[in-house]
């Protein structure tokens, strides 16, 4: 078999990188469960027609069918491009068994046919949280989700070493109300163009609004002027009103965004930013929207996003509004790990290598390893009996910090210190138990 060629857009980690990813997932899971979120998983595929209803995503969907199956559009399946749409279906199917408001977290891979580049992949992992109500959902949950998101990123900053973040927030009622006040009918189309602001800049957005949507230059520049507003407090209200546009929906959006910024900003100083260009391209968002940037790595783009959706899940009789946030685990980690910004302390979980002086004593070495493992010390037995110097070099190549000799000697091969030890009581330094 010839040497395989990597496929762009499908990142794979070496063991040390995978260890970092698992540490991230464990840290997020801990935060989510502290706040009462229950974990679930959903299937990888959904009906294609369901996925195509959810915004400007049709060019990015991967379809799935059996190799020799006859094409039948009515039954065509596709890999989910996020975890929110399958979660909405899950809620509808299981509503009779769920207690509302239902709080869930979900950590799975998703697939999008994007052009691969730094921070954007075709297969990637997300970690989502959502709170869903039956019929209604109190607006204070929008602030709660923002604070759980910030707490999750803060935990990653302290436990894993990821950079700190800023959570940028907006409200689609504010934007939609502003556009309606300008006399714009297709507000969703404007939101989709404004959502490209960070990628292409204000002048290009203005051009898209005039050439693709037929807006006048004056109206397009008003839309961009709104997108330019960014504050860390409620002063954005005065800046919006200075633009001279009024509507009832705009006032509702301003009121909701002020409540979130003031409450969340007081609880997480320097982490919350009102950013009126945040739109989110998917059309199921109806109120608060979030995006997150890494401080010092802003060029990567948003590493976490989400928002309020009041009508994503509905069976025609009952509606399940919700608000959620998605941590872009792969988008956060792949650039940091590949550039060496994040790494595990060693590529293997093994803390102790138990040396074997001859194959006749392998059983004794295995018994020592089992004693250590029973007390939570990760260890392995040397693969072959050999000179101790060679076994030490084997441990060094694998970056295993300790080697155990016979029944009562353990050596820290980093410092060279060797001490008497009892497998029933000896413990390594706490930092060496994990990587």
Q: Could you write out the DSSP letters of every residue in 209-278? A: HHHTT---HHHHHHHHHHHT-EESSTTHHHHHHTTT---HHHHHHHHHHHHHHHHHHHHSTTTEEEETT-
Residue 25 lies in a domain: yes
Angstrom distances, CA of residue 136 to CA of 224, 311, 317, 318, 320: 33, 10, 13, 10, 7
Q: Looking at the structure, do residues 326 and 385 belong to the same domain, yes or no?
A: no
Q: What is the pLDDT along the chain (435 residues), one digit of tens a residue?
A: 678 888 899 999 999 999 999 999 999 999 999 999 999 999 999 998 888 775 556 678 998 888 777 666 557 899 999 999 899 999 999 999 999 999 999 999 999 988 888 778 999 999 999 999 999 999 999 999 999 999 999 999 999 999 999 999 999 999 999 999 999 999 989 988 998 888 899 999 999 999 999 999 999 999 999 999 999 999 999 999 999 999 999 999 999 999 999 999 999 999 999 999 998 766 778 999 999 999 988 888 899 999 999 887 888 889 999 999 999 999 999 999 998 889 888 999 999 999 999 999 999 999 999 999 999 999 999 999 999 999 999 999 999 999 999 878 999 999 999 999 999 999 999 999 988
Beta strand 123-132 with 319-327: parallel, antiparallel or unpaired?
antiparallel
Asked if residue 268 belongs to a domain, the reply is yes
Indicate if 316 and 356 belong to the same structural domain: no
| Residues 329 and 360 reside in one and the same domain | no
- The verdict on 397 and 298 lying in the same domain is no
284 is in an annotated binding site: yes
**What is the number of H-type helices and E-type strands within the chain?**
15, 17
270 known member of a binding site: no
Q: Find the domain containing 424 and state its range.
A: 352-433
On whether residue 347 sits in a domain, the answer given is no
Cβ atoms within 10 Å, residue 84 = 25
Query: Does 192 belong to an annotated binding site?
Result: no
Considering the domain architecture, whether residues 317 and 401 belong to the same structural domain is answered as: no
**Has residue 2 been placed in a domain?**
no
* Residue-level pLDDT at 262: 96
The annotation status of 391 as a binding-site residue, yes or no, is: no
> Of 338, 372, 396, at which residue does a domain stop?
338
Q: Domains in the chain: how many in total?
A: 2
In a domain, 7, yes or no: no
Residue owning tokens 């691969």:
116
What is the number of other CB atoms lying within 10 angstroms of the CB of residue 267? 14
We report the CATH number of the domain holding residue 199 as 3.30.930.10
Task: Note whether residue 87 is domain-resident.
Answer: yes
179 with 288: CB under 8 angstroms? no
Q: Is 331 annotated as a binding residue?
A: no
Q: How many CA atoms lie within 13 A of 322 on its CB side?
A: 26
412 is in an annotated binding site: no
Burial environment of residue 239 by CB neighbours within 10 A (0 to 12, 13 to 18, 19 or more)? middle
> Same domain, yes or no, for 293 and 403?
no
Q: Where among 314, 338, 362 does a domain terminate?
A: 338
285 annotated as ligand-binding: yes
pLDDT for 116 equals 85
Determine if residue 320 is labeled as part of a ligand binding site. Answer: no
Residue 10 in domain: no
Domain final position from 338, 367, 395:
338
CB atoms within 10 A of CB 298: 12
Residues 262 and 376 in one domain: no
- Shared-domain flag, residues 240 and 381: no
Residue 345 lies in a domain: no
Per-residue model confidence (pLDDT) at position 389: 94
Query: Given this model, what pLDDT does residue 147 score?
Result: 97
- CATH code at position 387: 3.40.50.800
**Shared domain check, 274 and 324:** yes
Consult the annotation and say whether 280 binds a ligand: yes
User: Beta 418-420 vs 409-412: how paired, if at all?
Assistant: antiparallel
What are the DSSP calls for 116-140, one per residue? PBTTB-SEEEEEEEEEE-SS---TH
Examine the domain organization and report whether 191 and 63 are in the same domain. yes
Q: Are residues 326 and 394 in the same domain?
A: no
Tell me, yes or no, whether 148 and 254 share the same domain.
Answer: yes
């Amino acid at each position: 078999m010839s040497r395989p060629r990597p496929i762009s857009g499908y990142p794979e980690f070496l063991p040390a990188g995978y260890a970092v990813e698992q540490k991230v997932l464990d840290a997020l899971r801990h935060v989510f469960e502290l706040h009462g979120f229950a974990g679930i998983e959903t299937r990888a595929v959904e009906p294609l027609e369901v996925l195509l209803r959810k915004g400007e995503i049709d060019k990015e969907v991967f379809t799935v069918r059996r190799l020799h199956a006859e094409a039948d559009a009515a039954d065509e399946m596709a890999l989910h491009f996020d975890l929110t749409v399958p979660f909405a279906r899950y809620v509808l199917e299981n509503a009779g068994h769920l207690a509302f408001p239902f709080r869930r977290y979900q950590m799975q891979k998703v697939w999008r046919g994007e052009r691969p580049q730094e921070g954007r992949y075709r297969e990637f992992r997300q970690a989502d949280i959502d709170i869903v109500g039956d019929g209604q959902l109190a607006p204070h949950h929008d602030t709660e989700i923002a604070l759980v998101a910030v707490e999750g990123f803060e935990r990653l900053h302290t436990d894993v070493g990821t950079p700190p973040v800023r959570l940028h927030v907006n409200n689609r009622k504010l934007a939609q109300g502003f556009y309606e006040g300008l006399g714009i009918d297709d507000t969703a189309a404007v939101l989709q163009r404004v959502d490209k602001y960070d990628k292409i800049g204000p002048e290009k957005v203005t051009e898209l609004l005039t050439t693709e949507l037929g807006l006048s230059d004056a109206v397009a520049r008003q839309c961009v002027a709104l997108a330019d507003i960014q504050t860390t407090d409620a002063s954005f209200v005065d800046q919006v009103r200075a633009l001279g546009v009024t509507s009832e929906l705009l006032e509702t959006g301003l009121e909701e965004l002020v409540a979130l910024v003031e409450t969340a900003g007081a609880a997480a100083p320097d982490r919350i930013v009102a950013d009126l260009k945040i739109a989110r391209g998917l059309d199921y968002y109806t109120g608060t929207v979030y995006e997150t940037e890494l401080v010092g790595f802003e060029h990567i783009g948003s590493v976490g996003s989400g928002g309020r959706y009041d009508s994503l899940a509905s069976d025609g009789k009952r509606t399940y509004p919700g608000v959620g946030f998605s941590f872009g685990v792969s988008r956060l980690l792949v650039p940091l790990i590949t550039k060496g910004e994040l790494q595990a302390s060693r590529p293997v979980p093994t803390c102790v290598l138990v040396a074997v002086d001859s194959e006749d004593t392998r059983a004794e070495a295995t018994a020592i390893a089992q004693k250590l493992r029973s007390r939570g010390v990760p260890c392995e037995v040397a693969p072959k009996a050999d000179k101790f110097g060679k076994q030490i070099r084997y441990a060094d190549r694998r970056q295993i910090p300790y080697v155990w000799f016979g029944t009562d000697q353990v050596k820290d091969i980093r410092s060279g210190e060797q001490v008497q030890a009892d497998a029933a009581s000896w413990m390594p330094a706490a930092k060496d138990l994990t990587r």
